[in-house]
Chains A and B, each alone.
Chain A
Amino acid sequence: MVTLTFLKKELVEHGLAIAALVIAVMVALFITLARQQNQEFSISPLEILNFALFTFIPLAAFILGNRLIERDYRSKAQLFTESLPTRRFIPVFIKYLLGAFVVLGLMLVTLVMAARYASVVDSITPAYFGLLALKTLSVALLYWAIMFAISLSGHLRLLLYVLLLGTIYYLLTTRSVDVTDFGPFALLMDGTLAYERVQVPLKALQETWAMTAAFSAIGFLIALWHEGSMAEVLARPMARRDYLMIGFIVAAFLTVLGILEKEPTPDPFPIDTRYQIKSERHAITAAYLDDAAKSNAELVVAGLDSDIDRLQATVGPVDLAPSYLVHSDTLQPWEFIATSADGPLLYGNMITAQHYDRVVFRTTVLHQLLLATSGGRAVFEHFHWFLDGYTRHLTEASTAASTTGEREASREELLARAVISYEVLGNETDLIRQWQSIADRLGYASAESLAYSALMYLQELEGEVVIDELASRWLISSFERDTRASLRRWRQGVEAEFKAVTGIDWNDFMAGWRAWLPGIASNPGVAQRVDALNYRAGSVAIIENDLAGELLLGSFASTENRLPAAEDFEFLDTPPALPGDDNSSVDEHVCILNYSAATAFDTEMDFVFDDFEESPCGEDPFTVFDYNIAGSGDRLYITAEVRLPAFHQPIRLHAERVTVP
């Protein structure tokens, strides 16, 4: 009788709200089912169970907790309730049961509706339905138990909601703790919630039930502890000491997260020990996988040892992640794939690699190492150009694993590339202000050559020591997350810091470098390579062709020849004639068009092209290929490059983002 009276009281008080909630959930459910049926890649309407458990079921539990419990305590009717002829436990228990009934009811209705839709094309057996019900209702009940406990926490509830969401976010994003096999996370996250028909996830269910019991117990404990005084006190507005306590809790929470965030030492990247070379001085491991690649792998590791020694001698001890180098015979000599394991992981072809390629290999490793040390931040700083140039500077200067001739040839090739790149860009080039667009237009290899040439110029002016000083200041102190240094840089600018170290105004330095760079072409080794390239410009266009569909076209021109404009392409019946040049090396030029779907935030570093087309320039400097994988309005990033024997890597002459007509 008493129980019924309290139940009636709850229904009268919250009946309308519960009815509104049920209607809202039903509407959400129908919309979700309708949307789900129209989705292109949907397999079953049962997929909405996941959606429901991430959205409206926890929302419903939250609203119910607030209505049924928090509102009641806020009205300060506790003494009145306690003076009534019932046990203190009963009113709270009625609220708990009513909330659980509504949440489970909503979940069950959702399940029944989803199963009904799914049964049109799927066999929903009683066992399958039972398994779905067991999993979804367990999670839904956990939601209610959590909301029940938090709602009883009165003025601390907002803090607890924030901590709860923060904890869930942390658990789902951190690599320190893996919760995907645990309780509700396992039930919700592994994608089997809707599709597993046979296996009962007993461990996850038991953990979920245990959590439900724990949160429910916490809720009842708060409600009944010290004759109900705890819930009563918590229902009062916050006092100063509550604010202090909240501050303390938040600080403790952040501290704990900070401690947990220290990532555990990962297992080393698995490399077959029969084909590996490990550096004795540094955490560098090369997997050569083929005996033919062994000698080159040894040279790369020896060179890197020397490079890292030099780096640490210059800037002091640096905590560098383990690096892995893996031979891949499917790659071209100039191709490298940079990715990460628990440190930089680079794939390259070590059989075909010549000295220049090995230097590029080492440079890429150093670049990735320093980038990883900065948490990836260095590429967004204004000294990004310096990072690119300095890593090459280290490897080029190293005398390890190379002969004098090899080093000289490598340096000449690099400077020749810089001269050509400068010619392509024009004489307003500024390495700080334009670095991202330079790298985007010319690709990493050419941008790096420009940065390297600038450091060569600086070395001529001020000597090696200023380069090391800049490295120490920009690369290492920044990488150690020196907040004061970052603030100072933000206030003063990188140019001011450059001047502070070198004594040279940045604009004067750029002007001097621009004047110096063409001059180095007088070096015979450099000049020979610069002259070997017949082209200084490229262009690309997509035109509609009635017979072949969309056509992607590219053209290449020497400095003396005009490139066809985009509108000229459609009037060409045959490729244009080669620029007048009798140089025999023309036949060795290969013209390449690369393209990829463009996104808003792509950079030269992470660009892996979807496809490419190449043809000998000597026969057809006008590269054409059918293009039919993208739709009208799609954006493509297209580059026009030339490969020739004088350079180990293709030289990019043009890059453009084009919208498909």
Chain B
Amino acid sequence: MAEPIMENSRAARPDQHALLAPLLSLTDVSKRYGKLNVLNNLNLHVRPGEIYGFLGRNGAGKSTAIRLMMGISSPSAGTVSVFGEPMKGSRCAKARRHIGFVAQEQSFYPWMTPKRLGKFMRGLYPDWSDERYKALLTRFDLPLNRKAGGFSGGMKARLALSMALAARPKLLILDEPTAGMDPVARREFLSLVKTEVASSDTTVFFSTHLVGDIESLADRIGILDGGRLVYEGSLQQLSERTACFSAIVTPDTDAFPLDELAGHPYEVIRAGGGTAEQMVVLRWLADNRPVIAAADLPAGWRETALSLEDIFVAMILHQH
């Protein structure tokens, strides 16, 4: 398996986040269930105010990592720190007072109405705001006095987000909150997250397997595969440093001239194709990517734009 690619975000996108101590850190974290290694020396740091997109395929270990961050599970090795304190023992409960959490499957106490849930949560979160909660419920168009057990998946997700935000959390953890939503509900939910987060200084950790969920949100992303990060950096960097060249195969088509790129450190993420088309996807390892004019490419080859999802898929396939 290839070494993880760690982009220097300060260099790529210098901003104030990089200067602050991480709010959430996973250092050399491993998690084993019996003989199964779910997380393997995971290193991940989220700085205050950041929106961190946590990408990975289903089963990559994202939910396990989030359980560790929440202190619901303990790591087999390594350290998980939230707000600068290790998530251990009684500190977990203390830290969770300032964490908003939206789980993949929303299962509240089904007999409680949003109103009752609000009263319940008020006793648990010191920064809880009834006004904000009511405003969010109104905004999210959620009935106050209907039992949550009867809500649809989208309604439950909006209710969970309302509760999470009403607690005025310093850290908001979203674990695939849009899973199972239809496209309209998903877009609506993401829009709500974006709006609400924009108006606060909450740090957001957004886990998803859908690149589109975080494309317009995340300051930085981490791509998890096989229990370890295979990429960490900004989406912009990921996009800028990835280049895709393709050619329609004809008898005159030459091979892509990788030798000529020797002066520019790169990594081939994908090379090959079928009898009809050849493709080469490269990752530039230096800060400044070379500019390759179309005229400099061999006959038949051209540079093709890749979506973030294409890059994500290519990277995951490259790891395997």
Contacts and interface: CB of A to CB of B under 8 A. Distances in A.
A75 B72 contact: no
Interface stretch (B18-26, B88-96, B253-261): B88-96
B109 A83 contact: no
A4 B122 CA distance: 12
Contacts, number: 63
Contacts of B116: 12
A83 B99 CA distance: 9
A86 B70 contact: no
A85 B93 contact: yes
A77 B123 contact: no
Size class of A's contact patch? Answer: 20 to 34
B120 A227 contact: no
Contacts of A403: none
A433 interface: no
B194 to A, nearest CB: 23
A85 B107 contact: no
B125 to A, nearest CB: 7
Contacts of B109: 9, 13, 72, 75, 77, 80
Contact of A75 (B73, B74, B106, B110): B110
B92 A83 contact: no
A77 B72 contact: no
B101 A83 contact: yes
Contact of B72 (A2, A8, A79): A79
Contact of B110 (A1, A77, A84, A86): A77
Size class of B's contact patch? Answer: 20 to 34
A9 B125 CA distance: 15
B97 interface: yes
B302 to A, nearest CB: 49
B32 to A, nearest CB: 12
A8 B123 CA distance: 10
A86 B94 CA distance: 8
Interface in A8-26: 8-9, 12-13
Interface in B70-121: 70, 72-74, 90, 92-97, 99, 101, 103, 105-111, 116, 120
A83 B123 CA distance: 14
B124 interface: yes
A83 B110 contact: no
B172 to A, nearest CB: 12
Contacts of B97: 85
Given A1-B123, A8-B123, A77-B107, A83 B96 contact: yes
B156 to A, nearest CB: 11
Interface string A78-99: 1110111111000000000000
Given A9-B120, A85-B124, A86-B93, A75 B107 contact: yes
B111 A83 contact: no
A83 B103 contact: yes
A5 interface: yes
Contact of A80 (B73, B92, B103): B103
Contacts of B95: 85
* Most chain B CB inside 10 Å of its own CB: which residue of A1, A8, A82: A82
B72 A4 contact: no
Contacts of B74: 227
A236 interface: no
A237 to B, nearest CB: 15
Contacts of B120: 5, 8-9
A5 B123 contact: yes
Contacts of A75: 107, 109-111, 149
A2 B121 CA distance: 10
Contacts of A78: 107
B90 to A, nearest CB: 7
A86 B149 CA distance: 23
A377 interface: no
A85 B125 contact: yes
A41 B49 CA distance: 80
Contacts of A1: 123
Contacts of B110: 75, 77
Contacts of A488: none
A76 interface: yes
Contacts of A76: 105, 107
Nearest to B123: A5
B167 to A, nearest CB: 9
B90 A87 contact: yes
Nearest to A12: B116
A79 B103 contact: yes
A86 B99 CA distance: 12
Interface in A60-114: 72, 75-80, 82-87
* Most chain A CB inside 10 Å of its own CB: which residue of B90, B94, B120, B125: B120
A606 to B, nearest CB: 60
7 contacts: A8-B123, A13-B109, A75-B107, A75-B110, A80-B103, A84-B124, A227-B74
Given A5-B124, A85-B96, A227-B73, 19 more contacts: A1-B123, A2-B93, A8-B120, A12-B116, A75-B109, A76-B107, A77-B107, A77-B109, A78-B107, A79-B72, A79-B103, A80-B106, A80-B108, A80-B109, A82-B72, A83-B72, A85-B93, A85-B94, A87-B90
Interface of A: 1-2, 4-5, 8-9, 12-13, 72, 75-80, 82-87, 227
Name the 8 nearest CB pairs between A and B, nearest first.
A5-B123, A85-B96, A85-B97, A76-B107, A83-B101, A82-B72, A85-B93, A77-B107
